Amino acid sequence: MNNTNSSQSERTIDFGFSKVPLEEKVKHVKGVFDSVAENYDLMNDVMSFGIHRLWKKHTIELSGIRPGQTVLDLAGGTGDLTKAFAKRVGKTGKVVLADINENMVRVGRDRLTNEGIIGNVEYAITNAESLTFPDNTFDLVTMAFGLRNVTNKDKALAEIYRVLKPGGQMMVLEFSKVTQPMMAKAYDFYSFNILPKMGKWIAKDEASYQYLAESIRMHPDQETLKQMMLDAGFDKAEYLNMSEGIVALHRGWKY
**Which residues define the annotated binding site?**
78, 99, 127-128
172 pairs with which residues across the strands? 143, 250
CA-nearest of 78, 97, 87 to 141 is 97
Burial class of residue 193 in the structure, from the number of CB atoms within 10 Å of its CB (0-12 exposed, 13-18 middle, 19+ buried): exposed
* Binding-site sequence positions for S-adenosyl-L-methionine: 78, 99, 127-128
77, 165, 187 from 135: Cα distances, Å: 23, 8, 40
Return d(Cα 227, Cα 238) in angstroms, integer: 9
Rounded-to-5 percentages of helix, strand, coil across the chain = 55, 20, 25
C-alpha 170: how far from chain center: 12
C-alpha 112: how far from chain center: 19
